[in-house]
Structure 1
Amino acid sequence: MAAHSQIRDGDETTAEAGVIRRTPGGWSVQGKEVPDLVNAMVLADILGAEEQGAAPAPPAPPRASDDATEVERLRITVAQLEHALQTRVVVEQAIGVLAERHRLAPREAFERLRSAARSRGRKVAELSRDVVSSCTNPLTPLPGELAGAGSAAEAGNGRS
């Protein structure tokens, strides 16, 4: 769960933002059911991120040098895989936001996200962080084709 959470009795986590408990039907967050562990973990990460503010994306891990030992290469590979997973999670969250916001199929939401990123010379993961942030901060500027009702849209096609 989030770094600031504490696990008690093996089935309850307390965060400053609320309580996450295991229930017979899945997970409960302050009385609201969450269907599975993955959703509960993502929700805990989102709650933790909201408390900490929008953190900049961690830099991509370096590539292994030609003279690196096998252990060094494996450590770098693990760091690269962890970075790729974190990036994937943010992109999937943004796809979900756009699919709900614009009533799109997930594939169409991804295509819209990718197109907006390409046309502005931005990385998909970078724009995805903005889309996810726009859920809790309507002042986060988004390209017009991604902004929903009540969201701030970028002025022009340049980077914000």
Structure 2
Amino acid sequence: MRESLQLATLGGGCFWCLESAFNQLQGVHSVKSGYTGGHTANPTYKEVCSGNTGHAEVIQVSFDPALISYRELLEIFFALHDPTQVNRQGNDIGSQYRTAIFYHDTAQAEAARQIIAEMAHDKIWDAPIATEVQALDTFYPAEDYHDNYFERNPENQYCQAVVSPKLAKFKKTFAARLK
């Protein structure tokens, strides 16, 4: 990773949708799906999906802060999922689909807590924000077949029903930020 690049690690449901959206943003160098926040070392996708590892599905975003700020990444993150749902996103149910920000330093922790406080104050959502903010411990990369999953599997039923509509909305909302 280049010295000027930073990392952000975010969980907002299934990582296929988040990965596809963040890969399209100006200033994002790369996105890797993976797992963190649990107690099982080197978990597999099957193990994480069981809900027994404590891990969340996350993306780790390598970005250039001169082109896109951490705050902007968080704003997009919150627009891509429902941060009021506890241990789920839509029909994806379980702690592996929780909403979470895994910060890499104190500045990221402060930025995450600040944006959550602002959204709560402004009553952006009808329910309390459930997004966890915690220090990143260990990031476990997901199996390679998850890389660019939506782009490689657009015919997949889940991708058609869930990912595609979210990405269409994302592209309209953030058109000026796309590569």
| TM bin (shorter chain) | under 0.3
What TM-score results when the alignment is normalised by the length of structure 2? 0.21
**Structure that is richer in helix per residue:** 1
